[in-house]
């Protein structure tokens, strides 16, 4: 498994793309919604369930250290509306993932987007792309 | 590791904005559903008389009924026009609530939201928080609404009974005042050919009105208005009337719905404690700085 961090990008910027996630039961307070981190990783679990799906994956840094990440999406109905499915990700898939990280520095975040092994990009719905909107800013479920 | 990430951070935001990933579909949508943006310039048939039956989807898109930061007409966003007419008790109760969204939001680990863990959100929160695809069924005695969100349903009686209020004249097969209910007691009637109005009371006051922690008391009275302007649309208006918490009634939701084909299959969206537990252990608690593993 040769996976390395392709971007170490966590800059602060204005939220030009309104952070209007499709769903999130647990609110925005834990997340650094102005940041994005993009990396390559290997899927270790894709949990497809309410209240939220989440993806577990390993990222190998340049130093060789492997970091285990967990990143959530919204619930299955919302993700289907964005083109995802229970079969979108499989254990062992090597993917490029952009996450909105948590503030506490742990390797945890929300998925803004995933590029699948076949090159297809899936919008995570958490403000990574325009159009993933609830009626109000913030998320729901 | 993360310190390294942050230390090497550059203008990711700019990168993200300038180079958004390609999208798999242009507009988020529920497969098989029809929205108003699919039928621009349409001329729908007239509405049938006294008929709400069918599968109804938010007309503006699948997330048009998702009200993350509070009731759609009055979100908790700090804008003066969205300030609710709290009584002193209402404001005190609102401040005591610790939601995960809105101007009083706290990290999830600190919330006292009564809903997580698959506890009942009840009515009207299901509509003020997360109105998704719903099926309405009419019988001679009632209107039944089947909600996708958390797979819930409720009955609005149309057989002429009154809301429970008189201990000497029970109308619901049990003495009044009734036991409180998560979903309240609801009755309704047609006020014209295409407008149905329902009223509800008898609520359990442990629930919140919305996702932003707006409170209600056991004296909550909810007015629902369903107006069908044509065959394909239904306009839902929800008004909150709770003199203990608010100095006047206020409109919480105005949502336009669109009729779907009768064969439309509403997806399952169940709140399963076993899945919630897994989610909390693997994601929510670590995200909040709690390590239970």
Distance of CA A52 to the CA centre of its chain: 12
* Location of structure tokens 């039956």: B53
Name the token pair of B166.
């008189």
Average pLDDT, integer, range B260-273:
94
Residue B101: its chain A contacts at CB < 8 A? 27-28, 138-140
Q: What is the pLDDT of residue B167?
A: 62
Measured CA to CA, the distance from residue B252 to residue B83 in angstroms comes to: 12
Q: Do A130 and B69 lie within an 8 Å CB cutoff?
A: no
Provide the shortest C-alpha distance from residue A91 to chain B (in Å): 17
Q: Are B229 and B196 in contact (CB under 8 A)?
A: no
Q: Is the pLDDT of residue A26 over 70?
A: no
Domain boundaries of chain A, sorted by first residue: 1-135
> CA nearest A129 in B: which residue?
B20
Q: What is the pLDDT of residue B293?
A: 59
Higher pLDDT, residue A31 or A40: A40
Q: Please tell me whether residue B201 adopts helix, strand or coil conformation.
A: strand
Residue A107: its chain B contacts at CB < 8 A? 1-2
Q: What is the pLDDT of residue B242?
A: 98
Q: Which of A39, A48, A50 to mutate to test the interface with B (most CBs of B within 10 A)?
A: A50
Count of CB contacts below 8 A, A vs B?
Answer: 229
Q: Is the pLDDT of residue A135 over 50?
A: no
Structure confidence by residue, pLDDT tens digits, B112-137: 999 988 999 999 999 999 999 999 99
Q: What is the pLDDT of residue B292?
A: 60
Structure confidence by residue, pLDDT tens digits, A123-134: 998 754 333 333
Q: Is the pLDDT of residue B199 over 60?
A: yes
* Domain covering A1-135 assigned CATH 3.40.50.880 in the classification: no
Q: What is the pLDDT of residue A14?
A: 28
pLDDT, chain B, mean: 89
Average pLDDT, integer, range A9-28:
41
Average pLDDT, integer, range A51-75:
95
Q: What is the pLDDT of residue B285?
A: 85
CA dist list (Å): B52 to B49, B123, B279: 9, 19, 37
Measured CA to CA, the distance from residue B30 to residue B35 in angstroms comes to: 9
Average pLDDT, integer, range B154-162:
94
pLDDT band at A7 (very low <50, low <70, confident <90, very high): very low
Q: Do A123 and B100 lie within an 8 Å CB cutoff?
A: no
Q: Is the pLDDT of residue A138 over 70?
A: no
Structure confidence by residue, pLDDT tens digits, B167-198: 666 677 777 777 889 999 999 999 999 999 99
Average pLDDT, integer, range A109-132:
80
> CA nearest A48 in B: which residue?
B275
Kindly report the backbone phi and psi dihedral angles of residue B17, in degrees, each rounded to the nearest multiple of 5, phi listed first.
-70, -40
Q: Which of A32, A75, A136, A139 to mutate to test the interface with B (most CBs of B within 10 A)?
A: A136
What is the complex's ipTM, to 2 decimals?
A: 0.79
Q: What percent of chain A has pLDDT over 90?
A: 60
Q: Do A137 and B283 lie within an 8 Å CB cutoff?
A: no
Provide the shortest C-alpha distance from residue B215 to chain A (in Å): 18
Q: Do A30 and B287 lie within an 8 Å CB cutoff?
A: yes
Measured CA to CA, the distance from residue B265 to residue B258 in angstroms comes to: 15
Residue B70: its chain A contacts at CB < 8 A? 136
Average pLDDT, integer, range A17-40:
69
Q: Do B14 and A13 lie within an 8 Å CB cutoff?
A: yes
Q: Give the contacts of A62 (CB within 8 A, at least 6 positions apart).
A: A4, A5
Q: Are B29 and B61 in contact (CB under 8 A)?
A: yes
Residue A18: its chain B contacts at CB < 8 A? none
The DSSP line for chain A is ----------------S----S--TT-STTB-TT--EEEEEEEEEEE--SS--EEEEEEE-TTS-EEEEEEE---HHHHHHTT--TTS--TT-EEEEEEEEBTT-SSEEEEEEEE-TTS-EEE-SSSSSTT---SSSS---
Residue A76: its chain B contacts at CB < 8 A? 267, 269
Structure confidence by residue, pLDDT tens digits, A41-50: 999 999 999 8
Q: What percent of chain B has pLDDT over 70?
A: 88
Q: What is the pLDDT of residue A131?
A: 33
Q: From the list B22, B108, B275, which residue is nearest A49 (CB)? A: B275
């Amino acid at each position: 498994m040769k996976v390395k961090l392709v971007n170490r990008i966590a800059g602060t910027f204005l939220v030009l793309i309104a952070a209007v996630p499709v769903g999130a039961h647990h609110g925005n307070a834990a997340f650094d919604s102005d940041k994005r981190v993009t990396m390559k990783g290997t899927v270790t679990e894709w949990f497809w369930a309410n209240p939220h799906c989440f993806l577990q994956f390993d990222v190998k840094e340049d130093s060789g250290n492997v970091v285990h990440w967990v990143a959530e999406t919204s619930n299955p109905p919302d993700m289907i509306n964005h083109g995802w499915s229970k079969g979108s990700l499989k254990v062992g898939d090597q993917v490029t993932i952009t996450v909105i990280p948590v503030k506490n520095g742990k390797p945890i975040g929300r998925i803004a987007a995933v590029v699948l092994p076949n090159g297809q990009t899936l919008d995570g719905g958490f403000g990574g792309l325009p159009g993933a909107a609830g009626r109000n800013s913030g998320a729901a479920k | 590791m993360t310190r390294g990430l942050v230390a090497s951070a550059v203008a990711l935001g700019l990168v993200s904005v300038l180079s958004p990933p390609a999208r798999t579909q242009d507009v988020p949508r529920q497969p098989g559903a029809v929205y108003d943006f699919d039928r621009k310039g349409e001329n729908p048939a007239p509405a049938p008389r006294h008929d709400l039956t069918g599968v109804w989807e938010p007309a503006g898109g699948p997330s048009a009924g998702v009200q993350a930061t509070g009731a759609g007409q009055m979100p908790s966003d700090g804008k003066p026009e969205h300030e609710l007419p709290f009584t002193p008790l209402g404001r005190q109760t609102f401040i005591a609530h610790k939601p995960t969204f809105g101007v009083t939001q706290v990290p999830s680990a600190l919330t006292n939201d009564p809903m997580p863990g698959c506890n009942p959100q009840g009515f009207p929160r299901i509509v003020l928080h997360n109105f998704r695809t719903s099926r309405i069924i009419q019988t001679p005695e009632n209107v039944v609404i089947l909600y996708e969100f958390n797979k819930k349903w409720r009955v609005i009686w149309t057989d002429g009974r009154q809301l429970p209020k008189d201990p000497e004249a029970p109308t619901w097969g049990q003495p009044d005042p009734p036991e409180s209910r998560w979903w309240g007691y609801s009755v309704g009637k047609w006020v014209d050919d295409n407008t149905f109005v329902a009223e509800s009371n008898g609520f359990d006051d442990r629930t919140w009105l919305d996702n932003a922690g707006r409170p209600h008391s056991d004296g909550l009275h909810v007015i629902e208005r369903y107006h069908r302007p044509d065959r394909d649309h239904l306009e839902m208006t929800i008004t909150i009337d709770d003199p203990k918490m608010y100095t006047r009634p206020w409109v919480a939701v105005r949502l336009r719905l669109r009729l779907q084909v009768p064969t439309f299959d509403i997806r399952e969206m169940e709140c399963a404690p076993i899945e919630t537990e897994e989610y909390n252990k693997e994601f929510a608690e670590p995200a909040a700085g709690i390590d239970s593993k």
